[in-house]
Amino acid sequence: MTAVLVAAIVVLAAALLVVALRMRRPSIPKRTVGRILVPFTGGALDPTVLAAGIRIARAEEATLVPAYLIVIPLEQPQDAPMQHQVTTAMPLLEAVEHAALRAGVPVDARIESGRTPVHALKRLWEAEHFDRIVVPAPAGRRHGFTPKDLTWMLTHAPSETLILRPDPVNGGEKHS
């Protein structure tokens, strides 16, 4: 009986020691990223950039925020309805949402307008917080962000920014 009591006390002491050591050891907090912005314009989002945004969001357990940026011509008022651009944006945003949801990534899509892509992006940054930004670089002669736009983004972005350049040989498109 005494041997059983001694063994129980030893086991209890060992368990208390393990708990005490765990409490003394500082834990390293996991860095979480809540929202990853993927802005695009010009009627397309490069598949390489979309796939990267989805992979990052999945790895960081974050929400993917695809944002279609509409450019309003100077001839029109700032708040002019842009039905044609919205009609272009909606199927693209829906395709992004389906791809992200298939990968198990939550999506919170946006449409923002401005006089330039940078103006629209600046308006979006002023309205919402993003933990990371994944931006497509221009490939070939496609519409989208210019090198000047990208330079501005890198110097003014409110959070970590990643610029991805699609394969320049294929002009950003994958061929089989």
Q: What DSSP string runs through 120-163? A: HHHHHHHH---SEEEEEPP-TT-SS--HHHHHHHHHH-SSEEEE
Name 170's Cβ contacts closer than 8 Å, sequence gap at least 6: none
Specify the pTM.
0.74
pLDDT for res 78? 79
For the chain, list residues with pLDDT below 70: 3-33, 140-143, 167-176
Q: Which helix (H) or strand (E) holds 110?
A: strand 110-114
CATH number (3.40.50.620, 1.10.150.120, 3.40.920.10, 3.40.50.1360) of 35-164 reads 3.40.50.620
pLDDT for res 24? 61
pLDDT for res 176? 35
Nearest alpha carbon to residue 133 among 65, 79, 75? 65
pLDDT for res 83? 83
pLDDT for res 88? 87
Burial of 28 (0-12, 13-18, 19+ CB in 10 A): exposed
